[in-house]
Amino acid sequence: MTNRPVMLITGASRGIGAAVARAAAPTYDVLLDYAASSEAAHRLADELGAMGCRAEPVQADVGDEAQVLAMFDQLDTSFGRLDVLVNNAGIAGGYGTLDVVNGEMLARLWAVNITGAFICAREAAARMRTDRGGLGGSIVNISSKAAVLGGSGEWVYYAASKGALDTMTIGLSKELAAVGVRVNGVRPGLIESDFHLHAPPGRVERMAPIIPMQRSGTTDEVAPAVLWLASDAASYVTGTFIDVTGGR
């Protein structure tokens, strides 16, 4: 068992997940989940290793329960503990209005963004909760301001999946509060990331003027909110959200 606290980040190979991993490296050892970006995940692990962090990549599609269980088996074998789960893995599901929605798209979107988050939370809580021999811990769900704004004309289905994640955050925070597990969420807004590759070119530049701060944000501006919620500094904080949105 490692002596340092351990953080599991889903969807860790790039974007917000990778930024959280870099911010966590001085304090945590990290299990880096990725679905397809093996090269990026291993490169990140090497980078974190050079910082003195024990970082291990693991391939698991969180939309597949069997792969999630295998990921947690690897966590148990490699680290022997879990202190923080960052439920970051998510997909856009496409781009467009209601007309583009179909059952296959929705099934995959729900599987990754909702079911995957639930299964990961179930396995994390089973290891953390104090009534089952755990030491307590924290779950931080990466939601989106779209959960509140609705994503109309672009990503209503994505926004709906994040709305479900927000409801899960509130419900689990109450269910797990007495057994030492805190559950909170971070809602990023217009953040410079690969997410916008699903939209027509120039979306970030088009949207920036409607942000009160008149600019987009970066993944490095999201990561500190995640780390704070995960930390002992937030020991009396559960069932809440930090919006990282530039005021939108």
Catalytic positions, written as ranges: 158
Q: Which residue has the tokens 């929605």?
A: 101
Which of these, 19, 68, 67, lies nearest to 47 by C-alpha position? Answer: 19
DSSP 4-29: S-EEEETT-SSHHHHHHHHHHTTT-E
The number of C-alpha atoms within 13 Å of 1 and in the hemisphere containing its C-beta is 6
Across the chain, how many H-helices and E-strands are there? 9, 7
Residue 64 backbone zone (phi > 0: left; psi -120 to 50: alpha; other: beta): beta
- CA pair distance 99, 79, nearest whole angstrom: 46
Beta pairing class for 241-244 and 181-188: parallel
